[in-house]
Structure formats: C-alpha cells, structure tokens
A and B are shown apart, each in its own frame.
Chain A
Amino acid sequence: MRELKLMKGNEAFAEAAIRAGADGYFGYPITPQSEVMEYLMAEKPHERTGMVVLQAESEVAAINMVYGGASCGKRVLTSSSSPGISLKQEGISYIAGAELPCLILNVVRAGPGLGTIQPAQSDYFQATKGGGHGDYRMIVLAPSSVQEMADFASLGFDLAFKYRNPVMILSDGAIGQMMEKVELDEQITRLTEAEIIKNTPWATTGKTKDRERNIITSLDLDSAKMELHNIHLQEKYRQIEENETRFETIQCDDADYLIIAYGTSARISQKAVDLLRAQGIKVGLLRPITLFPFPSKPIAELANRVKGILTVEMSAGQMIEDVRLAVGCKVKAEHFGRMGGIIPSPTQVVEAMHQKIIGG
C-alpha cells in the first residue's frame, strides 16, 4: 500500500531515498536543494533505518564520501545544485572510472558562475556529455513531477547497481521546490553485510581468506590496459543505451508538429500542446525521461511523420543538439528557451511554435 503525502520535490526525494534502503547521504547546503539534507536531518533516518546522514565540509568532500561509501557496496547518495555539482565533477569522474554505483541529485539553478537561485536547465551538457575529465557517461534521469522525484530515487539506485555506474537525477529549482501530492513506496530493508558481499563481491568489505584483496581504483599506468578499460566502459554505455532509454509521448499519434521537452519545460509544453490543439493545430509532446541514454530512435521515427519539431528548454539550447543529431535533415528542428532563471509561459511556447516552426 503506497502512502499519499503532500510534499516538496526535494523532500519527496529525501523520503524516497530513506525508503529505498539508502545507507548513507553526504551533502552540503546550497539553494534550491537544501531541503533534502534538512529533511533527512529532521527525520533521523539513523533511528528509522540505520541510514547515515552527514553534512560535509564541501561539495568536494561530499562526493568523495560517496566514493568511499560506494566502494563498500553501500547505497549512497548526494544532492546539490549547479555550482556545487561543478565542484563534484572530479569525484564523479573518479566514480565513473572506478565503476561505482551511486545517486547524485542536481536541482539545477541558472548559471554560469554563481548565477541565480531560480530554476534552469542549463546543466544538460554537463550531465549528459561527461562534465568531468575523461570519456564517461552517467545515466541521467529527468523528473517532471514531485512523484518522479520520489520514484527516481529507487529507480536510480537500481540502475546504478545494475550497471555499476553513477546515476544523476537532473531536476530543476521548480520541481525541487514545488509541492504536489506524491505516493510513496513502502520501506525497503537496508542490505546486511552478508547480502552486500553476495551482491557486490567487488566491494571493499574487508579481505577474507577466501578471496584476494579488493581494490577500488580508476588508475592504471599501463596504457594498453587503460584502453581496454575504456573500451569496456564504452561497451557498458552502449548496453545502457540499448536497454534503459525511457521517454513519454503525449498526443503524438496524429501529430503534425512535435514539441520535445523534459522536466519543468515538459510540464509547460504539455499546456502549450492543449492550447495549440484548441487552435486546431495537431501537436504532440515527446518527453525524454532519460537524457542519457537519449531517446534518439523514437525522435527519428517521429521525424518521419511530422512537419517540424520545437525543443523547449530553460537554456540557450543544449538538448536541441541531440535532437538535431537524431532528426538529421528530415525536418526543421528549432529551439525555444528562456535563460537566467526565467520559466517560459505556455503562450510563449505557442508563439514560438508559430514563429519558428509553423510559419517559419
């Protein structure tokens, strides 16, 4: 029986993480995501489930605590917002290189630099193309509701452990701060040490006599071995693309035009679809749920049927590059967005569709 509550997105994520059997959270305050750690501290998950919650001295320390915990096969997570996520990039690269499972929430705010605390989607490149150094990918989930903030906590852990890979939940200040009703899963029991040793035999749980020592590292000074490791990582990412692409289509069956948007922009675009259909224009919405892997195939298929595509992002246009790669030159694909923490209105999306696609 799922429990129904009215919660902020950040709080729903925190509660869902406890219920998903998380072993440890390590974070550092930054607006607009501080409610995650505030909620966890208030809830005393150590008493509820034995989960560890620690406020680190920096984002850098927090992600490295995640590295240490993940190396032990524990379900560990951190959360931050854009400037803090930039600080975490070193640790994320090491985590990806050492193939460690973990969950990272980015409640995106506008940049660059300190930017502002208002919502944005301008960290798409950082999240989907690497961000830190080296050839690596995270699995990136994009929630568009408080419900998905909760649901993606357990989904994120499952994917992270399935592929031994960091998973980022790329949210934004609007989804993190807004309140909606949310159905919460029942509590999952945290794994015992025996279960961790069985499930993740690579973890540093202490060298017993029946096995060699376990080493967690991203280093190999032998270039030939390092290339093989990179080939292995790339094969894993192809496997993730094959198996884990997630998206939602709304009113696409009869659509003449298509909007592609994720997160908060998808919520606004859904309203724009209704307004355009009221004008007699058949518009559909494709909402990527995973940004890596990106739903290139369904977009390419829809590009065969529609007359034009508008992407809506709260950025200067980042996802549009992946959309254009998927579409090729089949149809026109244009970007509409606002920046600096401004959320576009549905009527602005309608106008952009007329100006850039239908009349353009």
Chain B
Amino acid sequence: MSQITKEEIRQPENLVYKKTELLTDNPLSYCPGCGHGTAHRVVMEVIDEMGIQEQTIGIAPVGCSVLAYEFMNVDMQQAAHGRAPALATAVKRLMPEKFVFTYQGDGDLAAIGTAETIHACNRGENIVIIFINNGIYGMTGGQMAPTTLPGMKSSTSPYGRDVALMGNPLKITELIAQLPGTLYVTRQAVHTPAAVRRAKRAVRKAFENQKLNKGLSFVEIVSNCNSGWKMTPNQSNEWMVENMFPFYPLGDIKVND
C-alpha cells in the first residue's frame, strides 16, 4: 500500500471540512471522546455563519467547560459557579444590540445555579442558554449531578443513585419550558452526524430568536462523559442512547414563534 503524505491530503481538491476560525487553535482540555468539543464547534459555526462574531459575548461556567473562553474566539466572561445567567442578563440589558449566550453544564445550571437559571428564563431575558447535560460532575471527578439517572453510579453515589436517599434527577428543561419567558426550548445530542446537524439547526434557531426580542432560547445537549462514566467513548455513546435518551427524550419541547 502506498504511503499518502499530509501534503497530498491537504490539497484543495481534498478539502471537505475546515475548522471555523471562531474556534481557537488551543488544544481542547476535554477528554478524548467527550461531546463538549463537538458542542463548542456547533455553537461557534452558527456564530460564524451568522456573521455575528463582533457582536457576540459568551459566558463560560464552572465545570469542565470553565475554560471555554480558551477555545471560543469571541469576547468571553467566566462566571462563578451557576451564575452565568445573571451575568448574561446584565450584559444583554446593558447592550441589547449584542448577541449573548451562556454555555453551562448540569451541575452549574441545574444545581448551584437553579435560581439564576429559573429567574433568567422566567424574566424572558433575550439570551441563549446552551446546556450540556452529561449527568455527572466531570471536572471534580465524577460526582453525582442533579441529572444523574436513578441507579446510576458516580463517585458520590458509588452503589447507584438511590432516589429515596438522594432525591430524583431534575428534568430542568421540561420545567423551564413551562415558564412564560421562554420562547424556544429543545433537547438535542451530538453523538452522530445526523444529531449534530439537528443540534446545529436548533442552536441557529436559538441565536436567530435573539433578534426577535421575544424571550429566552434554551438548548439542552445530552452528552456523554466517558471518563466519569468509566467507559470507552463508543460504550458511553451507546449507554447514553440506551439510558439517557429514554429519560431525557430528544426533540423540541416548546416552540413559540
């Protein structure tokens, strides 16, 4: 078999994909196989394609994506744990012509930041919230999250989540869809090319909604955490399809136009 060199592969006629310039060249801090990188790409491609880089301000959370500002090539603020929607509220109200989004994980958004999340959604702030739900605290080493499934093992539920002792997983996205301040609430995934395309359409719709000034758009992305779940990337995606999706079904939950 003949050897193909890098240079040969990089010929223009072979170019079928190019990384958006809205992702920096910094190496991602995420574990190989994690969905964060794809979710980052989806959000940044939408901002790139809409041509709104100069008007966009992003808010990074605390958790695995605490360093999102290292990878997203837009002006970014790094919030205290759970407070991103409060920062975004002020940014959008003080600069209504800008596009403002938060990027948060489940511990950040659905545990410590529940109040900020609910109230920003209920006020109908004209922002986009991107919510990565992998059912675990990844950054701190795999502890139980508000979205950890019943029976699911984590470092703080080593025998599985016992709902009688530890409470039920919080379906915060369904809860948020009930609030009059939300315009668009959807749940997506990024584990297959088809899912990535659907997720990208959802993120695009969310950012387009900001122009309407009619309320908040909330995009949950159910994702894997192969490290925290102690699986290979492929196993974790299969486990996600079999276990996470039945509990957190994909698709639009609320669409107001």
A binding-site residues for B, Cβ under 8 Å? 23-24, 26, 52, 54, 56-58, 60-62, 64-69, 71-72, 74, 76, 90-91, 94, 98, 193, 204-209, 213-219
Q: Give the size of the chain B interface in residues (CB under 8 angstroms).
A: 34
- Min CB distance A18 to B, Å, is 15
The smallest beta-carbon distance between A327 and chain B, in angstroms, is 39
Query: Which chain A residue lies CB-closest to B122?
Result: A57
26 pairs, CB–CB < 8 Å, chain A vs chain B: A23-B94, A24-B94, A52-B90, A52-B94, A61-B115, A64-B86, A64-B90, A65-B86, A66-B90, A67-B77, A67-B83, A67-B87, A68-B89, A72-B90, A72-B91, A91-B83, A205-B75, A205-B95, A206-B57, A207-B53, A207-B74, A208-B54, A209-B54, A216-B78, A218-B78, A219-B67
Q: Report chain A residues within 8 Å CB of B56.
A: 206-207
Q: Which residues of A contact B54 (CB under 8 A)?
A: 206-209
Q: How far is the CB of A249 from chain B (nearest CB, A)?
A: 41
Min C-beta distance of A349 to chain B, whole Å = 42
- List B residues 25-82 near A (Cβ within 8 Å): 53-57, 59-60, 66-67, 69, 72-80
Q: A68-B90, A205-B95 are in contact. Are A215 and B116 (CB under 8 A)?
A: no
B198 interface hit (Cβ, 8 Å): no
B211 on the A face (CB < 8 A): no
Chain B residues, CB < 8 A from A52: 90, 93-94
Q: How far is the CA of A8 from the CA of B62 in the complex (A)?
A: 41
Please report the C-alpha to C-alpha distance between residue A121 and residue B76 in the assembled complex, in whole angstroms. 38
The 10 residue pairs across chains A and B that have the minimum distance between CB atoms: A68-B87, A64-B86, A68-B90, A217-B78, A204-B75, A65-B90, A64-B83, A57-B119, A69-B90, A61-B86
A141 to B114, CA, bound (A): 34
Contacts of A207 in B (CB 8 A): 53-54, 56, 73-75
Question: When A61-B86, A64-B87, A213-B73 are in contact, do A91 and B80 touch as well, CB less than 8 Å?
Answer: yes
- Nearest chain A CB to B203's CB is how many angstroms away? 19
- Report whether A216 and B93 are in contact in the complex, using a CB–CB cutoff of 8 Å: no
The CA of A56 and the CA of B75, in the complex, are separated in Å by 25
A56 touching B86, Cβ below 8 Å = yes
Contacts of B55 in A (CB 8 A): 206
Residue of B nearest to A24 (CB): B94
A24 touches B93 (CB 8 A): yes
Which residues of A are found within 8 Å of B80, using beta-carbon distances?
64, 67, 90-91, 94
- Interface membership of B88, Cβ < 8 A: yes
Q: Which of A52, A66, A67, A208 has the most CB of B within 10 A?
A: A67
Q: How far is the CA of A310 from the CA of B240 in the complex (A)?
A: 69
- Is the CB–CB distance between A72 and B73 below 8 Å? no
Contacts of A58 in B (CB 8 A): 115
Q: How far is the CB of B118 from chain A (nearest CB, A)?
A: 8
Q: Is the CB of B73 within 8 A of A69?
A: no
Q: Which chain A residue lies CB-closest to B52?
A: A206
The distance in angstroms between the C-alpha atoms of A91 and B69, with both chains bound, is: 19
A-B contact sample (18 more), CB < 8 A, given A56-B119, A219-B67: A24-B90, A57-B116, A61-B86, A61-B116, A65-B90, A67-B79, A67-B80, A68-B79, A68-B87, A71-B77, A72-B91, A74-B94, A193-B95, A204-B57, A204-B75, A209-B54, A213-B73, A213-B76
CA distance A66 to B55 in the complex (A): 20
Partner of A72, one of B53, B72, B95: B95
Q: Which of B12-26 contact A (CB under 8 A)?
A: none
Q: Is the CB of A71 within 8 A of B87?
A: yes
| B204 touches A (CB below 8 Å) | no
Cβ-defined contact, A213 with B78, below 8 A = no
Given contacts A91-B80, A207-B53, A213-B76, contact A68 B115 (CB under 8 A): no
Residue of A62, A65, A72, A208 near B57 (CB, 8 A) is A72
A142, chain B: closest CB distance, angstroms: 27
Which of A64, A74, A215 is the one whose CB lies under 8 Å from B76? A215
Q: Point out the residues of chain A lying under 8 angstroms from B93, CB to CB.
A: 24, 52, 54
B257 to chain A, nearest CB (A): 27
Q: Which residues 104-125 of B have a CB within 8 angstroms of A?
A: 115-116, 118-119
Query: Which of A54, A57, A219 lies in contact with B78, CB distance below 8 A?
Result: A219
Q: Which residues of A contact B118 (CB under 8 A)?
A: 57
B98 close to chain A: CB less than 8 A:
yes
| Residue contact B116 to A206, C-beta cutoff 8 Å | no
Quick one: which of B203-255 are within 8 Å of A by CB?
A: none
